[in-house]
Structure 1
């Protein structure tokens, strides 16, 4: 039945597949099916031009489709990556790194190199030298969720 449908639609079967894949991209998250759909549409374009040629058999069409889908995927990935973007907020999603240089007073002592401080409305786990309660500390770096502090 599928082969009959493909033979009846001729080169338009690739266009149909491409449009189905593009429509599926709207329903499914991610940006992947769009590149395979573009590969199918490009194969459909070639099929319109080459359909009457004797060498344009389904095996060659499938190889061309697979090649174009992979090429479109790599081209799309390169196009969407865009490289490093310059921003006025380079530490926007690096909250620990954005706190470097801030000072705070220890609400409790740092014991065995571990403690916590309050910055704004958040308590942060800290690492640093053992210090008593009430000592002013300065954040020198952020390692993951912990802040590294030293006496200010």
Structure 2
């Protein structure tokens, strides 16, 4: 067996196996590029080493770009897109102010949690509508 064929076979296997240790699909595509190099040197012997390495770099770049453009954002859409966005789940709710908004900041209670709110100055007890979320601060306006 030729050393270049063996080297590219080992490189392809190592890169594809390394993907299990560092998920993110980056090493997988480099492994595919190494597998393509394996086939290339297998069927076209005599390619200089420097040309092999340069072609591997180009194939790696191209394969990663293919992944980023066509496969990365094609996952299934969630039936609950706000599942881990707790503050954004409250947008649209109308609740009374627990603590008056003074100087643009106040507090409301939603369920068993208190939320810091920002909006126009209003007295406690005024119903407000949550219109946006900025981190863990809710933006409100009078309902």
Q: TM-score range by the shorter chain?
A: 0.7 to 0.9
Aligned residues: 143
State the Cα deviation string for residues 14-64 of structure 1 (Å, max 9, x = none). 11111011112212243211111111110010000111x4xx111111111
Q: 2:64 matched to 1:73? A: yes
> Displacement, 1:119?
0.9
Equivalent residue for 1:33?
27
Q: 2:100 matched to 1:109? A: yes
Q: Which has the larger displacement, 112-121 or 75-84?
A: 75-84
Answer with 1 or 2: which has the greater Rg.
Answer: 1
> Displacement, 1:121?
2.2
Matches within 5 A, 1:69-148: 69-82=60-73, 88-148=79-139
Return the TM-score normalized by structure 2: 0.85
Structure 2 CA distance, aligned partners of 1:84 and 1:111? Answer: 44
Structure 2 CA distance, aligned partners of 1:131 and 1:101? Answer: 18
Structure 2 CA distance, aligned partners of 1:13 and 1:86? Answer: 40
- SS of match in other structure, 1:107: strand
Supply the RMSD in Å over aligned alpha carbons: 2.3
Equivalent residue for 2:15?
21
Bigger helix share: 1
> Displacement, 1:81?
2.0
